[in-house]
Amino acid sequence: MRKFKVTIQDSEYAVAVEEVTEGCIGATGRNNICTSSSPASAPVRTLTPVKPTPVKINKNNGLVNVPIPGIIISILVQVGDNVKKGDVIMILEAMKLENEITATKDGKVAAINVIEGQSVNTDEIVLVIE
């Protein structure tokens, strides 16, 4: 089994996928079932689908996103800077207006995912606060 994180329509899911080689079911596990030259005589095991587990993203976890599409015109912090909830950390230009993007919680800037002049989409994660 291999685990992956998949994003579908802005929702993240943790999924597990079983790797199968051609003609074999469960080829990476202990109970391999492989077809012979006569596929009809080989036993077939039904695979149970894995239900995805949604990963919820909220403003309390330190992810800062943009509310509207636009262009980042100014980044006012650097990785390692301490910020307080409500501090202006970026300026986003959208529809000829400058919009302040603020820190979602107190903490230290862990990552900046954009550069000045970059276009961003609605709800894009632009910064992470630890």
Cβ neighbors of 129 (< 8 A, separation 6 or more) are 62, 63, 64, 83, 103, 104, 105, 107, 108, 109, 110
How confident is the model at residue 82, as a pLDDT? 94
How confident is the model at residue 5, as a pLDDT? 76
Amino acid code (one letter) for 56: K
Mean pLDDT (the chain, rounded): 76
- DSSP label at residue 41: G
Residue 59 pLDDT more than 70? Answer: no
How confident is the model at residue 16, as a pLDDT? 73
User: What's the pTM value of the predicted model, to 2 decimals?
Assistant: 0.53
Residue 55 pLDDT more than 50? Answer: no
Residue 125 pLDDT more than 80? Answer: yes
Domain boundaries for CATH 2.40.50.100 within the chain: 59-129
Please give the CATH architecture assigned to the domain spanning 59-129: Beta Barrel (2.40)
